[in-house]
Amino acid sequence: MSSDQDTSEQATQLGKHVALPASPEAAMLERVDNPQIGVDYAVRFTCPEFTSLCPVTGQPDFAHLVIDYVPGDWLVESKSLKLYLGAFRNHGAFHEDCTVAIARRLCDLMAPKYLRIGGYWYPRGGMPIDVFYQTGDLPAGVWLPDQGVAGYRGRG
């Protein structure tokens, strides 16, 4: 049974040794009940050492990801998110595909009231590519700070 669809699941990976999934598709993202249903608040995950592979050259690509969301009924379980993001290490995809695929999978899992992701990719071939995705407008009254990642400046 895939926990991406089951609405009664609880975290099954938390507190256990779990090997890094072979691919993002094989990773089991899990969700848990939001203990603050009815309260709009923002959650931020920062992954400053995200890694994937260039689908053409097979060389590593590195990014600083910032994921912000306003939960509905569900939260993403953080260990499952860490394992899911780690599964991209051996996955070949363009920056745009990685960033948007992560956002869409999280939306499918949690149905958040709002989600945005910033993919701040380090340069390859002399040019950084930053990718941004969001699901709509931030709910009124929710404070969400700037993602805090400076644009790439080189060796300054």
* pTM of the entire predicted model: 0.90
Q: SS3 for 85?
A: helix
Residue 47 β-bridge partners = 65
CATH number of the domain encompassing residue 104: 3.30.1130.10
Q: Is 116 exposed, middle or buried (0-12, 13-18, 19+ CB in 10 A)?
A: buried
| Residue 47 appears among annotated catalytic residues | no
State which residues of the chain have pLDDT below 70. 1-9, 155-156
pLDDT of residue 9: 57
Residue 54 annotated in active site? yes
In-domain check, residue 41: yes
CB 9 within 8 A of CB 33: no
pLDDT, tens only, 135-156: 999 999 999 999 999 887 776 6
Catalytic residue among 4, 33, 40, 54: 54
Does residue 19 sit within a domain?
Answer: no
Could you tell me if residue 37 is inside a domain?
yes
Which domain range does residue 90 map to? Answer: 31-134
Q: Is 17 within the bounds of a domain?
A: no
Convert the pLDDT of each residue in 108-123 to its tens digit. Answer: 999 999 999 999 999 9
Q: pLDDT value at position 150? A: 85
Q: Has residue 72 been placed in a domain?
A: yes
Total number of domains constituting the chain: 1
Whole-number Å distance between alpha carbons of 102 and 24: 9
